[in-house]
Amino acid sequence: MTRTDQKIGGVEFRSVSRRYGKVTAVDAISFKVEPGTLVTLLGPSGCGKTTTLRMIAGLEAASEGQILIGGRDVTLLPATDRDVTMVFQSYALFPHMNVLDNVAFGLEVSGVPKVQREEQAMAGLAMVGLAGFETRLPSELSGGQQQRVAVARALVLEPEVLLFDEPLSNLDAKLRRKMRDDIRELQSKLGLTSVYVTHDQEEALAVSDRIIVMNRAVIAQEGTPADLYRRPVSRFVADFMGISNLLDGTVTRRAEGRVTAHFGEAVLDLPETAITRADEITVAIRPQAIRLATEPGPDRLPVTVRKATYLGSHLEYVLDSSAGELFVVDPTSETPVPPGSSAWATFRHEGVALVPRDGQVA
Amino acid sequence: MTLATRRLAFATTALLGLALGAASANAADLVVYCGVQEEWCQAMMNAFTKETGIKVAMTRKSAGETYAQVKAEGSNPKGDVWWGGTGDAFLQAAEDGLLSEYKSPKLAELHPWAQRQAADAQYRAVGIYAGGLGFAVNTEVLAKKKVAEPACWADLVKPEYKGEIQIANPNSSGTAYATLATLVQIFGENPAFDFMKQLHGNISQYTKSGAAPAVAAGRGEASIGIVFMHDGVTQTVNGFPVKVVAPCEGTGYEVGSMGIIKGGPNPDLAKKFYEFALTPKAQETADQAKSYQVQANVATPLSPHAPRLEKVKLIDYDFKKFGSAAERKRLLSRWDNEIGNLR
Amino acid sequence: MFRSHLLWLIVGWIAWTIAPWYGFASSRQPILGGWPASGLLAGLDDAPWLLPLGLFLALPVPFVATRSRLVGPALVVAGAGGLGWMMLQGVAIIHKGWAWPFLADLFGPIAAGQPGMGFGAMATALAFLFFLTMGLAARGAMKGDRFTTGAIGLLVASISLFVFWPVSTVFSQAMLPDADMSGPAALIHRLTAKDIWSLGCVTGTTRCGVVWNSVVLGTLCGVITTVLGLAFALVATRTTFPYQRLLRLLSVLPIITPPFVIGLAVILLFGRNGTVTLFLAENFGLTATRWIYGLPGILLTQTLAFTPIAFLVLIGVVQGIAPSMEEAAQTLRAGRWQTFRRVTWPLMRPGLANAFLVGFIESLADFGNPLVMGGGYEVLSTKIFYAVVGAQNDPGRAAALGIVLLALCIGAFLVQRRWVGTGSYTTVGGKGFAGTPAELPRWLKNAVYATALPWAAFTFLLYGLILYGGFVENWGRNNTFTLRHYVTAFGLDWNQYGLLWTGRAWNSLFTTLEVSAVSAPLTAAMGLITAYLLVRQRFTGQATFEFMTMLSFAIPGTVIGVAYILAFNQPPVELTGTAAILVVCFVFRNMPVAIRAGVAAMSQLDKNLDECALTLGANSAQTIRRVIMPLLRPAIVAALVYSFVRAITSVSAVIFLVSARHDMATSYIVGRVEIGDFGLAIAYSSVLVVLMGLAIIFIQWIVGERRIARPTPHAPAARPQEVAA
């Protein structure tokens, strides 16, 4: 399939809200999706990410605000008239049509002649590696194959924006990894503007150019995967991005762009960020940023090994400390420290972020 | 999918054909509401078309239904002639101003009761047939029970007829109302109601429709039905063991009527039909269609099956009084309170 | 801005300037002198009040032409204004001129009145209606979906016109002042009448009020039909009974039977002179009595007639209970009985409640069976009928009784809603529909057999007798074989002019088939679109909308019949005497069942399917046609069959609406039954039953099967190929 014209359709939300009666599902959010990029909406269930996606598709009406696609205001435009397609979580393959008719459906309803649309549909199927499956019914395909049909069906229309609503959640782990790579590859090859919804941070990190983390109807943080992982702005984001060690700490000194943070017995000297001005903070430490040492030091935390697990590629520890429990992933060592032994935890500073404590404003 | 499309196309074509067929159905000229039996209605309309070449569109409904319809349509009538059915309904319609006044030159050829009906209705209706009230008696059932046939109204309250008699509910049936009025005229109002209270013990069912007791008597579901005698005769002719009895004290009768609907679409054709309906030629159709009422035109030959009204003691039925809405309402509500309420 | 805007603008202009404005079904209606003119010509001639419509038609033109952003508001103003003006002039100026004298005083006399609206006016009104809905859509209503707003507009307008207006017209009659009473006093007097509410049969020697009779009958009928329907549904799905197909056929037979016929057969069997009664009397010395007349007879015939409906409601529910749930219960060590008691039964609750409700309402609204079998047992429906047509002729009373009946139905509806509650009964998810249904506990199976099989045998016997009755001279008296009844009804003759339809039933048969065939697809379409709106869309006033659609179902046919005459006998909408009024009546009376079938089926479809079609660029109409309809085929068949059959077999409303040129089969049959000509009635009914059977087969062929899986499945989808990709 060759794209005849490169569509440059970005998406923009200008303080868009969606209310159902008294419940606010999406509360005055604004963001931009640059043309040709894949942006993920990430968040726990009920955070408003799917509603946001459906508003882009036109399946939900915005209660307030403005939605622009390719610079055009589409707020009042019905789904049919928007140049947006979507891959649904349930795939939503039409059970009564065979694979070819499913993929050709969008072309058919927009009036593409039969020969041409079948050609395009075949090309689409070939692109997702399903050539030869044209006459099967959806019920005769495996989950992964159904997923590919759904993707092909959305792709052949060459939409301005392609939407994915948790497209991989019904697949097993292995297939999920392969599919997400395939999706990412297709997207970047075709230069499609895409919005992707998931609650799986690993998936989000793997496929996205940018990630928008949502929580309770608002955007919690927006940025590149690395930004979010390295510099979470809140305990929620840190937690959600898989930074599982969240310890209470205090800031004692701020000077020359650096801060001194205490947690437990450890004192770390970190670069200051704009995130927190308060003294009571939460220290978010990535599991990969902790190592065990046998010697004490000022920036080290005395710990007791509670549990050590050998996982082939890496070791996992659960440690007890005066600041709380720590979870550690250590790919560098082959021999585990036995449970019960005392040790000192050392911290790589890139893997440590300071975020406001819950209930405090940044 | 192509198959489904073809089927759909087929169905659509068929439907369109039907719709077009419906739209092009030929418009008939004269609209008649017919209140007698279906066979007679058909025979009468055919005779009229044969005679005049005018096409007739006819609906058959009971007198009550027709009255309700004519009344509902009153602001913009759709029918031309209302032909056949109990005279009461016509008197009411005349009273409501739903029928137009018309004096036929043939009035003089009619039996006096038919002329009187016309006069009572201020010439907005005219009598076209008459039928006396009587008993339709199932001789087989009574013989099996070894019970004598009733000859008089007074016989009906005898204990041996317990559960054997049917009559219609006067609230729903003109026949039963005529019976009620007849009893009041024969016995006087209070004795008549006492009589009906006694009769109540013998009655198995107050039917809805006036002719139903005759059918029940024919089938043996009851042994005596209080009905118009010609309805009983129909059962006899249809092969049921039904004997028609005229009560010895005398009996009331109905005058089946005809009227031109006021403001109907074809008043001229309506008059043509009206005139034709009063001729012997038209009235002979009744006998052919197994309807055995006495016809209004003196010159119409009487069917051999018809109950001879001249041999029946007919009371001097006051149609004007008992046909009026007020008297009807009063009697019916008294019946409701004193008899209809009983278990 | 959109093609649809242009389309309806053109329709509006053509309809107003060219199409004949007056005289619906113009070929049937006498056209007044010079009237087949269009709205514009009539306006220029002597109906100047039609001219302002041109302004409303012109208003949106510049906005549509220039693709202005203000096209939405312009369309709203033009649509609402045009519709409003049409209604105003239609109601104010009728065939006699001004409808109310004060208007003449106000505006001066007018030359002539106007007849009912015709095709031109109808199309213009439609154009205005769609202006309004398209305008609202352009302003973002219903996510901007023009089809959805249009469908809502059309349905709301038609339901208001064909349900709400006639019904309120007839109910307002309950307020008619009576002799010495004012309107409200008369209303209260009528509503509290002794013969409605009396409890005399409990405390004294008088009769009980009709309300109690109706409630007792309806409750019994609802319970018994539900139990029997459940027994049949369990036999059909949860046992290994060998003749399930036959059983299903048998259970559907009464639905396609014209009313009265079952009653007749029951009388001929169990009446005092009935075959069975006489047999018992001769061989066992039992006294022949009339026990069948009254409550037992009505209940028996209604049970025969309505059990199939309960069966149809319940079989879907019983089938819908995923076997995996029962299997899960069994793996949790529940026995068969416990599984049934704790899992299967609670999941059937909504089905049982619905079946009961349908049985109750059908029983209350049924009029044919109480008429034939009722004896002295009076119910509301017959009382209403005779209040209208009987010697009383009291439309006020009929209206009051109608209100009471409607209140009973709504009450039953509310009770049912409470009982079902708000629990989730969803059993059909996207996945996991495998497994075999649990067998019933042994004793329950025996009980089910013991209930269903004798009843099936009884139905079988009854139908055998009905068929037989058409072929004998005089059933019960003279049992010699004859074709006389069939010849009388369906005789054909051949002479020099060609084929002659000499049989007396041909006329009514043709009308009946035609009206039913036209109304069935309309009913199904309206019903399913309504279901789509109710299930898939959310809009304000939805609950009211749903209630209105149910209204015409709960009101007895007699009341509807009178209501239609009162409402549609004079301009602006004049339909009496046309076939259209029959079609309209059937469509709106039978629509609720199509809606229910559609709602049930559509709730089982994943909403993502139609959303997906929308995002793929299909508009709502395309989505419905290409995605939803093929998946709803079973529901479409059900809706079509029901509305077709109901149009053929209904009596009560039809009696008032049939006209000289459009007589219906049932009103003909009623006439035959009235005079005791049972042979012809039965012969005619047998023919109808056969025709309806053929029609059902035809409908299934037209609609086709729902195909979502092949009968012989492939081997489980091949993974190697997938990986190779």
Write a three-state SS string for C251-287: HHHHHHCCCCHHHHHHHHHHCCCCHHHHHHHHHHCCC
- ipTM over 0.85 threshold: no
Interface of B with C in 197-256 (CB under 8 A): 204-206, 208-209, 211-212, 214-215, 218-222, 231, 234-235, 238-240
More confident residue, C455 or C558: C455
- 8 Å CB contact of A80 and C620: yes
Q: What is the mean pLDDT of residues B104-123?
A: 91
Mutate which: C605, C609, C615, vs A, most A CBs within 10 A: C615
Q: What is the pLDDT of residues C169-191, one digit of tens each?
A: 888 887 877 666 777 777 887 78
Residue C437, pLDDT score: 61
Q: What is the pLDDT of residues C294-341, one digit of tens each?
A: 888 899 999 988 888 788 778 777 776 666 666 676 677 667 777 777
Q: What residue in C sits closest to A129 (Cα-Cα)? A: C725
* Structural domains in chain C plus CATH codes: 3-139 (no CATH), 196-200+207-469 (1.10.3720.10), 506-703 (1.10.3720.10)
- Smallest CA–CA separation between A218 and chain C, in Å? 22
Annotate A6-36 with b (16+ C-beta within 10 A) or e (fewer). Answer: ebebbbbbbebbbeeeeebbbbbbebebebb
Looking at the complex, does the CB of residue B343 fall below 8 Å from at least one CB of chain C?
Answer: yes
Share of chain A above pLDDT 70, in %: 96
- 8 Å CB contact of B15 and C517: yes
How many C-beta atoms surround the C-beta of residue A67 within 10 A?
22
Cβ contacts of C375 on chain B, cutoff 8 Å: 204-205
Q: Where are the alpha helices (DSSP H) in chain A?
A: 49-57, 99-109, 114-127, 143-155, 173-190, 201-207, 225-230, 235-240
Cis-peptide into C36, omega within 30 deg: no
**CA–CA separation, A268 and A262 (whole Å):** 7
Q: What's chain C's average pLDDT?
A: 79
Residue C609, pLDDT score: 86
Q: What is the pLDDT of residues B38-55, one digit of tens each?
A: 788 888 988 898 888 888
Q: Measuring CA to CA, which residue among A283, A338, A349, A286 is closest to residue A309?
A: A338
Q: Measuring CA to CA, which residue among B203, B153, B181 is closest to residue B339?
A: B203
Do the beta carbons of residue B317 and residue B185 sit within 8 Å?
A: yes
Residue C592, pLDDT score: 81
Looking at the complex, does the CB of residue C55 fall below 8 Å from at least one CB of chain A?
Answer: no
What is the helix, strand, coil percentage profile of chain A, to 5?
25, 35, 40
**CA–CA separation, B282 and C718 (whole Å):** 85
Cβ contacts of B4 on chain C, cutoff 8 Å: 630, 704
Q: Which residue has the tokens 């005619």?
A: C684
**CA–CA separation, B117 and C553 (whole Å):** 43
Q: What residue in C sits closest to A128 (Cα-Cα)? A: C725
Q: What residue in A sits closest to C628 (Cα-Cα)? A: A94
Q: What is the pLDDT of residues C341-361, one digit of tens each?
A: 777 777 777 778 878 888 888
Structure-block tokens of residue B273:
């039909």
* Structural domains in chain A plus CATH codes: 11-230 (3.40.50.300), 235-356 (2.40.50.140)
Q: What's chain B's average pLDDT?
A: 84
Sign for the CA dihedral angle at B221, B222, B223, B226 comes to: negative
Cβ contacts of B261 on chain C, cutoff 8 Å: none
- Using DSSP's 3-state secondary structure scheme, residue C546 falls into helix
- 8 Å CB contact of A137 and C708: yes
**CA–CA separation, B256 and A139 (whole Å):** 72
- Smallest CA–CA separation between C702 and chain B, in Å? 5
Q: Which positions ≥6 away from C642 have C-beta within 8 Å?
A: C255, C590, C593, C594, C597
**CA–CA separation, C55 and C52 (whole Å):** 5
SS (H, E, C) chain B: CHHHHHHHHHHHHHHHHHHHHHHCCCCCCEEEEECCCHHHHHHHHHHHHHHHCCCEEEEECCHHHHHHHHHHCCCCCCCCEEECCCHHHHHHHHHCCCEECCCCHHHHHECHHHHHHHHHCCCCCEEEEEEEEEEEEEHHHHHHHCCCCCCCHHHHHCHHHCCCEEEECCCCCHHHHHHHHHHHHHHCHHHHHHHHHHHHCCEEEEECCCCHHHHHHHHCCCCEEEEEHHHHHHHHHCCCCEEEECCCCCECEEEEEEEEECCCCCHHHHHHHHHHHCCHHHHCHHHHCCCCCEECECCCCCCCCCCCHHHCCECCCCHHHHHCHHHHHHHHHHHHHHHHCEC
Neighbours, chain C (3 or more CB pairs < 8 A) = A, B
Q: What is the mean pLDDT of residues B122-148?
A: 91
Residue C708: pLDDT band by 50, 70, 90 thresholds? low
Pairing between β-strand A38-42 and β-strand A193-198 as defined by DSSP bridges? parallel
Considering only the beta carbons, identify the residue of C139, C143, C716 that sits closest to A78. C143
Amino acid at C126: L
Q: Which positions ≥6 away from C83 have C-beta within 8 Å?
A: C125, C128, C129, C132
Residue C70: pLDDT band by 50, 70, 90 thresholds? confident
B259 strand-pairing partners? B82
- Smallest CA–CA separation between B14 and chain C, in Å? 9
Do the beta carbons of residue A215 and residue A46 sit within 8 Å?
A: no
Cβ contacts of C517 on chain B, cutoff 8 Å: 14-15, 18
Residue B273, pLDDT score: 94
**CA–CA separation, B318 and B316 (whole Å):** 6
Residue C716: pLDDT band by 50, 70, 90 thresholds? very low
**CA–CA separation, B203 and A50 (whole Å):** 74
Q: What residue in C sits closest to B206 (Cα-Cα)? A: C376
Amino acid at C13: W
Do the beta carbons of residue A301 and residue A337 sit within 8 Å?
A: no
Looking at the complex, does the CB of residue B5 fall below 8 Å from at least one CB of chain C?
Answer: no
Sign for the CA dihedral angle at C551, C552, C553, C559 comes to: positive
Looking at the complex, does the CB of residue B42 fall below 8 Å from at least one CB of chain C?
Answer: yes
Residue C204, pLDDT score: 67
**CA–CA separation, A92 and A335 (whole Å):** 49
Amino acid at C506: W
Structure-block tokens of residue C577:
């005497």
Q: What residue in A sits closest to C709 (Cα-Cα)? A: A139
Tell me, yes or no, if the pTM score tops 0.80: no
* Least confidently predicted of B88-102, C123-137, C456-470, C661-675: C661-675
Q: Per-residue pLDDT for C168 more than 90?
A: no
* Structural domains in chain B plus CATH codes: 30-130+254-307 (3.40.190.10), 132-252+326-340 (3.40.190.10)
Residue B22, pLDDT score: 43
How many pairs of residues across B and C have Cβ atoms under 8 Å apart? 197
- Smallest CA–CA separation between C27 and chain B, in Å? 7
- 8 Å CB contact of C615 and A96: no
DSSP per-residue codes, C59-85: THHHHHHTT-TTHHHHHHHHHHHHHHH
Return the DSSP state at A212.
E
**CA–CA separation, C500 and C491 (whole Å):** 9
Structure-block tokens of residue C518:
């036209």
- Smallest CA–CA separation between A55 and chain C, in Å? 10
Q: Per-residue pLDDT for C197 more than 80?
A: no
Q: Measuring CA to CA, which residue among A110, A92, A58 is closest to residue C618?
A: A110
Annotate B233-263 with b (16+ C-beta within 10 A) or e (fewer). Answer: bbbbebebbbbbbbbeebbbbbbbbbbbbbb
Q: What residue in C sits closest to B329 (Cα-Cα)? A: C392
Do the beta carbons of residue A241 and residue A231 sit within 8 Å?
A: no
Annotate C577-612 with b (16+ C-beta within 10 A) or e (fewer). Answer: bbbbbbbbbbbbbbbbbbbbbbbbbbebbbebbbbb
Looking at the complex, does the CB of residue C287 fall below 8 Å from at least one CB of chain B?
Answer: no
- 8 Å CB contact of C393 and B4: no
Cβ contacts of A81 on chain C, cutoff 8 Å: 144
- Smallest CA–CA separation between C723 and chain B, in Å? 32
B252 half-sphere exposure, CB direction, 13 A CA radius: 25
Q: Which positions ≥6 away from C215 have C-beta within 8 Å?
A: C408
Burial of C656 (0-12, 13-18, 19+ CB in 10 A): buried
Cβ contacts of A155 on chain C, cutoff 8 Å: none
More confident residue, A14 or C661: A14
- Smallest CA–CA separation between C188 and chain A, in Å? 40
Structure-block tokens of residue C479:
């049992």
Share of chain C above pLDDT 70, in %: 85
Q: What residue in C sits closest to B338 (Cα-Cα)? A: C206
Residue C222, pLDDT score: 92
Q: What residue in A sits closest to C623 (Cα-Cα)? A: A109
Looking at the complex, does the CB of residue B38 fall below 8 Å from at least one CB of chain C?
Answer: yes
Residue B184, pLDDT score: 94
Phi-psi region of B254 (alpha: psi -120 to 50; beta: other; left: phi over 0): beta
Q: What residue in A sits closest to C137 (Cα-Cα)? A: A76
Share of chain A above pLDDT 90, in %: 35
Considering only the beta carbons, identify the residue of C616, C622, C708 that sits closest to A85. C616
* Least confidently predicted of A74-88, C420-434, C577-591: C420-434
- 8 Å CB contact of B59 and C388: no
Considering only the beta carbons, identify the residue of B19, B57, B177 that sits closest to C661. B57
**CA–CA separation, C249 and A84 (whole Å):** 49
Looking at the complex, does the CB of residue C140 fall below 8 Å from at least one CB of chain A?
Answer: yes
Interface of B with C in 76-95 (CB under 8 A): 76, 78-79, 88, 92
A26 half-sphere exposure, CB direction, 13 A CA radius: 28
Q: Per-residue pLDDT for A163 more than 90?
A: yes
Looking at the complex, does the CB of residue C479 fall below 8 Å from at least one CB of chain B?
Answer: no
Looking at the complex, does the CB of residue C546 fall below 8 Å from at least one CB of chain A?
Answer: no
Looking at the complex, does the CB of residue C577 fall below 8 Å from at least one CB of chain B?
Answer: yes
- Smallest CA–CA separation between C426 and chain A, in Å? 17
Q: What is the pLDDT of residues C493-509, one digit of tens each?
A: 776 666 667 777 888 88
- 8 Å CB contact of A92 and C608: yes
Sign for the CA dihedral angle at C530, C535, C536, C542 comes to: positive
* Least confidently predicted of B30-34, B166-170, C350-354: C350-354
Q: What is the pLDDT of residues B242-283, one digit of tens each?
A: 999 999 988 998 899 999 999 888 889 999 999 999 999 999
Do the beta carbons of residue A180 and residue A25 sit within 8 Å?
A: no
Cβ contacts of C724 on chain A, cutoff 8 Å: 129
Do the beta carbons of residue A59 and residue A84 sit within 8 Å?
A: no
**CA–CA separation, C410 and A37 (whole Å):** 57
In angstroms, the Cα distances linking C366 to A22, C118, C650 are 45, 35, 10
